[in-house]
């Protein structure tokens, strides 16, 4: 077996973000681009000699080719074993679980999450560490530093084995174990939710529509919802993973899952609708005639999680990302558990989960998870919702409106301005930060700013500080606006504006969030000068 040491030179721009490195697929296919980055990851994590590494992805275009390259490089760098999902498939939560139960050193997860796929779409690669969660900043910093000094990479001359058959093959001195990507995940879900109770729900005629968006969750949903739980065939739609996601954008929001939203607000709506994203870590849940916002979903799940089979002992604590609405905070107060507000990025939850201080966590960007893995988990959230519906004997709408009656409603929306000029976006945020000392007392329309800051987080587990995590303007009526630039896109910058206002009066809980939040939306636009600075006078996506 021949190990090739190939001379190379650093490639600019290979800086991993919260979700690893994401670029256009065409960029990853450039000569040595992927190989350079994989070698930088291997070196940045301290090497893989003698280690076990999990490898899998969401099945998007270039997934199988990239896995072949990664396997050849792992073997050339001395890894003992690579565990790969059959066909190169592993949802992100399933990969996290596999890393944990096999006590692997870590794993390469190939995905650009909710970004579009295909030859002209996006591609991504991240490394998850031994706890199953995304690499923390010291490791991603080390990876980035290595991308700037790399002079060679190591790769086996021999081709990697085919990924379509279960079994173990040898590549150089490394075992390549091809495993069922679904089985271990199903076993985990059986421990967490009451399969018998949900079977009874479906047997009684409960109707669900689950849109897998031609992404990786399809096979998992077919296996669990239809095969294990007895939901009728056809419950899962768009369930076959496709390299380009069927030409669609695999993001479960009102824009990209418009057909599902239309169905759930139609006269023939099923009892519940749900969808997941490209790599299976995000979710959306709808009831007949009602949509559950991700922020509300976190709060409802937290308030009811004790009803699910695997959480009968109750919650240790709740965590949410700073831009997520404060609905879960009210649950934490009512049930008497700690509440943690973190920056955006699942790695911040990982420390809290490892320390045993929280049980459930979530982000407004359709991500919810618990201490069962160290990633958000879209199908898990849907199954927990089903278990709660079955346990309470209420509809999704009844559970949500009842929650608002008990806790009040946090009207909430996120406005995304996508692919704006990067420099314009950076100037907008920089100017907002510079204006913070003078914002208190300023009036915008009917609202006056009570206080403003740039969110900084001190990790209670290790004392690390993460600053500059988002500009917050808190208004005198309790409303707030938050401004951030997102790092999940591959073109330009995405400005995200998060807007929220609390309403305690049940008589006012059935209003349109955009109408209720109109004064906050107008104040945020004037405060940041979004239209003037970006040329965008309406957001591309409203969630």
Residue of 355, 539, 216 whose CA lies nearest to 340: 355
pLDDT at 487: 61
When pLDDT is cut at 50, 70 and 90, the band that residue 488 belongs to is low
CB proximity list for 366: less than 8 A, separation 6 or greater: 114, 251, 252, 253, 277, 282, 283, 284, 294, 378, 543
pLDDT of 506-538, one tens digit each?
999 999 999 999 999 999 999 999 988 888 889
Helix count and strand count (H, E) for the chain? 18, 27
pLDDT band at 290 (very low <50, low <70, confident <90, very high): very high
Q: What are the CA-CA distances from residue 143 to residues 6, 281, 440, 493 (Å)? A: 19, 24, 41, 23
The predicted-structure confidence for 349-381, as pLDDT tens digits, reads as follows 999 999 999 999 999 999 999 999 999 999 999
pLDDT above 90: residue 543: no
Helix, strand, coil share (%) of the chain residues, nearest 5: 35, 25, 40
**Both tokens of residue 248?**
């669609």
pLDDT at position 347: 86
Under DSSP, the state recorded for 496 is E
- What integer pLDDT is reported at residue 104 of this predicted model? 98
- Cα–Cα distances (Å) from 261 to 43, 237, 270, 273, 358, in that order, read 45, 14, 11, 8, 32
Give mean pLDDT, residues 86-91.
Answer: 98
Q: What is the pLDDT of residues 443-456, one digit of tens each?
A: 999 999 999 999 99
d(CA 494, CA 405): 35
Is the sign of the CA dihedral 218, 221, 224, 226 positive or negative? negative
* Dist. CA 127–CA 107, nearest whole Å: 6
Among 162-176, 191-205, 414-428, the minimum mean pLDDT is found in 414-428
With b meaning 16 or more CB within 10 Å and e meaning fewer, what string describes 338-347?
Answer: ebbbbbbbbb
Average pLDDT, the chain: 95
- Is the predicted pLDDT of residue 384 greater than 80, yes or no? yes
State whether residue 92 is helix, strand or coil.
helix
Using alpha carbons, select from 540, 440, 435 the residue that is nearest to residue 497. Answer: 540
Selection from 346, 406, 351, 343 nearest residue 378 by Cα: 346
Mean pLDDT of 314-342: 97
pLDDT for residue 61: 97
pLDDT in tens, 246-269: 999 999 998 899 999 999 999 999
Burial class (CB within 10 angstroms; exposed 0-12, middle 13-18, buried 19+) of 316: middle
339 band by pLDDT with thresholds 50, 70 and 90: very high
Alpha-carbon span 322 to 341, nearest angstrom: 5
Share of the chain above pLDDT 90, in %: 91
In this predicted structure, what is the pLDDT of residue 541? Answer: 83
pLDDT at residue 489 is higher than 60: no
| Whole-number pLDDT of residue 18 | 76
Residues with a catalytic annotation lie at 113
What pLDDT is recorded for position 533?
A: 87
Q: What is the pLDDT, as a whole number, of residue 535?
A: 85
pLDDT at 490: 57
Give per-residue burial for 27-65: e unless 16+ CB within 10 Å, then b: bbbeeebbbbbbbbbbbbbeebeebbbbbbbbbbbbbbe
Token representation of residue 464:
């690390």
pLDDT at 203: 98
Q: Give residue 357's Cα distance to chain centre.
A: 21
Structural domains of the chain ordered from first start: 3-180 (3.40.120.10), 185-407 (3.40.120.10), 409-542 (3.30.310.50)
Q: Which pLDDT score, from 0 to 100, does residue 182 have? A: 98
Q: Say whether pLDDT at 39 is over 60.
A: yes
81-89/52-57 β-pairing: parallel
């Amino acid at each position: 077996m021949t190990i090739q040491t190939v001379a190379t030179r650093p490639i600019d721009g290979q800086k991993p973000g919260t979700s690893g490195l994401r670029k256009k697929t065409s960029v990853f296919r450039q000569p040595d681009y992927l190989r350079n980055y994989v070698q930088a990851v291997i070196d940045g994590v301290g090497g893989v000699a003698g280690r076990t590494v999990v490898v899998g992805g969401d099945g998007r275009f270039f997934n199988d080719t990239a896995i072949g390259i990664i396997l050849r490089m792992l073997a050339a760098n001395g890894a003992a074993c690579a565990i790969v999902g059959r066909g190169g498939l592993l949802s992100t939560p399933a990969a996290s679980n596999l890393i944990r139960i096999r006590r692997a050193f870590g794993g390469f997860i190939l995905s650009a999450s909710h970004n579009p796929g295909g030859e002209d779409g996006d591609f991504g690669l991240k490394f998850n560490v031994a706890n199953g969660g995304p690499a923390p900043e010291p490791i991603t910093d080390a990876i980035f530093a290595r991308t700037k000094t790399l002079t060679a990479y190591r790769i086996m001359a021999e081709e990697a084995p085919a990924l379509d058959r279960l079994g173990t093959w040898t590549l150089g001195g490394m075992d390549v174990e091809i495993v069922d990507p679904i089985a271990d995940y199903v076993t985990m879900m059986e421990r967490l939710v009451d399969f018998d109770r949900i079977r009874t729900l479906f047997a009684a005629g409960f109707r669900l529509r689950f849109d897998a968006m031609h992404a990786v969750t399809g096979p998992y949903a077919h296996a669990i919802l239809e095969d294990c739980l007895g939901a009728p065939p056809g419950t899962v739609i768009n369930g076959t993973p496709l390299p380009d996601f069927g030409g669609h954008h695999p993001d479960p929001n009102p824009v990209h899952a418009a057909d599902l939203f239309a169905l759930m607000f139609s006269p023939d709506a099923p009892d519940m609708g749900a969808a997941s994203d490209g790599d299976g870590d995000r979710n959306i849940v709808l009831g007949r005639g009602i949509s559950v916002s991700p922020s509300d979903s976190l709060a409802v799940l937290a308030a009811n999680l004790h009803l699910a089979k695997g959480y009968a002992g109750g919650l240790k604590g709740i965590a949410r990302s700073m831009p997520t609405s404060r609905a879960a905070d009210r649950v934490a107060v009512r049930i008497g558990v700690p509440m943690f507000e973190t920056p955006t990025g699942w790695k911040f939850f990982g420390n809290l989960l490892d320390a045993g201080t929280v049980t459930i966590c979530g982000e407004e960007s359709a991500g919810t998870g618990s201490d069962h893995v160290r990633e958000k988990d879209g199908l898990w959230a849907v199954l927990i919702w089903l278990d709660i519906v079955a346990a309470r004997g209420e509809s999704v709408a009844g559970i949500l409106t009842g929650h608002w009656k008990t806790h009040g409603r946090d009207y909430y929306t996120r406005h995304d301005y996508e692919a704006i000029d990067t420099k314009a976006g950076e100037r907008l945020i920089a100017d907002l930060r510079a204006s913070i000392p003078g914002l208190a007392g300023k009036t915008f329309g009917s609202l006056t700013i009570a206080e403003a800051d740039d969110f900084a987080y001190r990790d209670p587990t290790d004392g690390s500080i993460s600053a500059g995590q988002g500009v917050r303007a808190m208004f005198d009526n309790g409303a707030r606006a938050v401004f951030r630039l997102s790092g999940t896109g591959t073109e330009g910058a995405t400005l995200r504006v998060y807007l929220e206002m609390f309403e305690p009066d049940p008589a006012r809980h059935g209003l349109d969030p955009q109408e209720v939040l109109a004064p906050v939306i107008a104040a945020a636009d004037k405060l940041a000068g979004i239209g003037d600075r970006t040329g965008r006078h309406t957001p591309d996506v409203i969630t």
